[in-house]
C-alpha cells in the first residue's frame, strides 16, 4: 500500500470483474478481494477498436465462465450518472444498460480516479522516485497520466486518509511560456479549435511536436528514423530513439518539459504537498531519460512558489495496470 484510502476497510471476501477501457487498449481481469489483498485469477488485453461496445468486450472475455456479482469499469472520460462518452474513441457506455444485459451490478469510474485508488493496493516496487522532496510530506496528492490522452486526478487528504476524485484537467488550455511554445500553439491551432494540454502531453502530442520540429523548425530527419516509422508506432519510435536521434531527443525534451510544467500547475491548483504521481502508458518507458534536475527545473519554475514545489515528492507509477487494479479496489469497497 502506498497511500491509505479513506473508508477503504471492507473486509468481506468477494469476486469482481474489473476493466480499464482506454481508447487504444483495454485491460480486463477477474479479481478476488480476500479482505486484505487483491488477487488476479484471469486477465487479458484487447485492442478497444476491435469491439463495438463494452458489452461485447466483456462477453468475449468471460466466454462460458460465470460472471461475478459485480463489474467495475475504469473509463477514459467524464463519468456522470454511471454513463460516459469516451473522449478519444467513439464509444458511449451506460453502466445501467450493461447491468441489465448481464444481470449484475455495474459501476463506472474515471480511469484516473481509478489510478488514484490503485495506490491502496500497489506497493513500493510499482513506484520509481524522480524527486524525494521533503520526507514525510503530508497533504493532498496529484496524479497526471499521459497516454492516448492526458488524465489528471487528485486525492484529498483529510488528516487520516485520502479521498480520490476525478478531474478533466487534461483538457484545460495549454499555456505557452516562451517563443517556441507560441509557435507550437499556432501550429496545433491550424487543426484544432482548442489547444489543450492533451494535444501536447500524450502519444499523439509527441507526434505533433515531432512534426512541428520537422516542418516548422526544419530539423533534419534521419532516413532510418523515417523508415522505422513506416513499420512501427510513430510515438514509440520517437521516444525509443531519443538518445540516438537529435530530432527525437528534442521532441522528448519538449514533452518532458511540458509534462513538468503542467505537473507544477496541477500541484499548485490542488496544493498537492503530499506528492505527485505520474502514471499512464508513456512515462514508465522514459525513466532512463527523465533526469531529476531537468524535470524539477521546469516543475518548480513558478517564481514565488518555487520552494513549495521543490518540497513535493515526485514519483512515476511503473505498473501499467494501475487503473485496472484501482477499478477492482473501488468496486469491492463501494457500498450503495
Helix (H, G, I), strand (E, B) or coil at 144: strand
Task: Judge if 226 and 276 occupy the same domain.
Answer: yes
- Give yes or no: residues 291 and 314 share one domain: yes
Q: Mean pLDDT over all residues of the chain?
A: 95
Instruction: Kindly state the helix (H) or strand (E) to which residue 276 belongs, with its residue range.
Output: strand 275-278
Q: What is the pLDDT of residue 336?
A: 60
Both 190 and 251 in a single domain? yes
Please work out, in degrees rounded to the nearest 5, the angle formed at the alpha carbon of residue 189 by the alpha carbons of 187 and 194. 145
pLDDT of res. 20 = 97
What does the pLDDT average to over 313-318?
97
What is the per-residue pLDDT across 289-315, written as a single tens digit (0 to 9) for each? Answer: 999 999 999 999 999 999 999 999 999
CATH of the domain at 81: 3.30.420.40
Count of domains observed in the chain = 2
Instruction: Decide if 5 is inside a domain.
Output: no
Q: Which residue has the higher pLDDT, 318 or 90?
A: 318
> Do 32 and 66 belong to one domain?
yes
Tell me: do 106 and 158 sit in the same domain.
Answer: no
- For the whole model, what pTM was predicted? 0.95
Within a domain: 50 = yes
What are the φ/ψ torsions at residue 245 (nearest 5 degrees)?
Answer: -130, 125
Structural domain boundaries enclosing 34: 14-119+321-333
Within-domain flag for 270: yes
Nearest residue to 293 via CA among 128, 131, 127? 131
Q: Are residues 36 and 155 in the same domain?
A: no
Domain identity same for 143 and 247: yes
- Per residue in 99-151, pLDDT (tens digit) is 999 999 999 999 999 999 999 999 999 999 999 998 778 899 999 999 999 99
Whether residue 3 is contained in a domain is answered as no
CATH number at 253 reads 3.40.367.20
> Is 9 a domain residue?
no
- Whether 82 maps to a domain, the answer reads yes
Say whether both 290 and 194 belong to one domain: yes
Amino acid at each position: 500500500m502506498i497511500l491509505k484510502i479513506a473508508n477503504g476497510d471492507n473486509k468481506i471476501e468477494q469476486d469482481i470483474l474489473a476493466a480499464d477501457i482506454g481508447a487504444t487498449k483495454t485491460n480486463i481481469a477477474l479479481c478476488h478481494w480476500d479482505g486484505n489483498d487483491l488477487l488476479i485469477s484471469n486477465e487479458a488485453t484487447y485492442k478497444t477498436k476491435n469491439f463495438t461496445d463494452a458489452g461485447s468486450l466483456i462477453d468475449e472475455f468471460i466466454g462460458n465462465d460465470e460472471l461475478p456479482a459485480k463489474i467495475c469499469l475504469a473509463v477514459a472520460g467524464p463519468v456522470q450518472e454511471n454513463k460516459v462518452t469516451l473522449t478519444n474513441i467513439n464509444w458511449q457506455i451506460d453502466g445501467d444498460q450493461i447491468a441489465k444485459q448481464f444481470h449484475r451490478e455495474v459501476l463506472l469510474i474515471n480511469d484516473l480516479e481509478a489510478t488514484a485508488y490503485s495506490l491502496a493496493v500497489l506497493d513500493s516496487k510499482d513506484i520509481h522516485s524522480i524527486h524525494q522532496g521533503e520526507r514525510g510530506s503530508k497533504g493532498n496528492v496529484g496524479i497526471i497520466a499521459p497516454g492516448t490522452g492526458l488524465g489528471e486526478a487528485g486525492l484529498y487528504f483529510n488528516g487520516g486518509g485520502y479521498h480520490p476524485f476525478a478531474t478533466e484537467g487534461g483538457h484545460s488550455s495549454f499555456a505557452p511560456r516562451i517563443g517556441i511554445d507560441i509557435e507550437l500553439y499556432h501550429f496545433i491551432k491550424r487543426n484544432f479549435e482548442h489547444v489543450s494540454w492533451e494535444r501536447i502531453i500524450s502519444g499523439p502530442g509527441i507526434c505533433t511536436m515531432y512534426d512541428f520540429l520537422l516542418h516548422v523548425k526544419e530539423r533534419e530527419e534521419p532516413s532510418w528514423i523515417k523508415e522505422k516509422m513506416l513499420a512501427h508506432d510513430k510515438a514509440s519510435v520517437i521516444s525509443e530513439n531519443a538518445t540516438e536521434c537529435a530530432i527525437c531527443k528534442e521532441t522528448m525534451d519538449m514533452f518532458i518539459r511540458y509534462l513538468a510544467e503542467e505537473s507544477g500547475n496541477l500541484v499548485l491548483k490542488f496544493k498537492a504537498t503530499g506528492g505527485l504521481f505520474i502514471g499512464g502508458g508513456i512515462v514508465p518507458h522514459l525513466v532512463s531519460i527523465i533526469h531529476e534536475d531537468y524535470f524539477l527545473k521546469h516543475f518548480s519554475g513558478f517564481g514565488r512558489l518555487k520552494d513549495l514545489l521543490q518540497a513535493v515528492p515526485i514519483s512515476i507509477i511503473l505498473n501499467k495496470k494501475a487503473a485496472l487494479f484501482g477499478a477492482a479496489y473501488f468496486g469491492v469497497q463501494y457500498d450503495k
